[in-house]
Amino acid sequence: MQTVPGTNVYIHVNNDESDRIMIDPAYKLERLKEVNEKIYAFQEAYRLVDDQMKDLTYRTKIPFARDMYESWYNIEKSIMRFDRVFNKVEKFDARAMTDPLNHERREKRMLDGRRERWNKNYTYFFGDLTEEE
């Protein structure tokens, strides 16, 4: 009968050691015992570190400097603004494919409105919006 290992743990060995493992059953068992102990140690270490990280993130707040917080807040606002513009442009371009007749009319109206605002120069933007928005 052939023995079946209890785990799928593989070890890399050179040719001489491989021959010895295949020939000497006591050496094979010794090596398997060594490898299994190491694997269990690794798994236990990973489990402990994972538990500590979960405890750390759920129980304590990480100190954050005010300027760093403001920078991240401004970055998030910029990303949201960019997303708004991008979604609006994507929607406008998608309309060109789905409704070409009305798209031409809308594009003409949009360009006329921009030209009129540019010439009168009395455009007011609220909420950090820009001309494109």
Specify whether 70 is located in the same domain as 111: yes
Domain boundary among 59, 75, 94: 59
For residue 6, being part of any structural domain is answered with no
For residue 5, being part of any structural domain is answered with no
Rounded to an integer, what is the distance from CA 35 to the centroid of its chain? 34
Specify whether 48 is located in the same domain as 70: no
Q: SS3 for 85?
A: helix
Specify whether 35 is located in the same domain as 50: yes
**pLDDT tens by residue, the chain, 133 residues:** 456 656 666 778 888 888 998 999 999 999 888 988 888 999 999 999 998 888 776 666 677 788 998 999 999 999 999 998 888 888 888 888 888 888 888 888 888 888 887 776 655 666 777 666 6
Number of structural domains the chain divides into: 2
Of the candidates 4, 30, 2, the residue with the CA atom closest to the CA atom of residue 17? 30
Is-contact 36 7, C-beta < 8 A?
yes
Amino acid (1-letter code) at residue 30? E
The per-residue DSSP string of 97-122 comes to HH-HHHHHHHHHHHHHHHHHHHHH--
Alpha-carbon distance of 69 to 73, in angstroms, equals: 6
Alpha carbon dihedral 17, 21, 23, 27, in 10-degree steps, equals: 110
Which residue range forms the structural domain that includes residue 28?
A: 15-59
Of the candidates 76, 4, 8, the residue with the CA atom closest to the CA atom of residue 39? 8
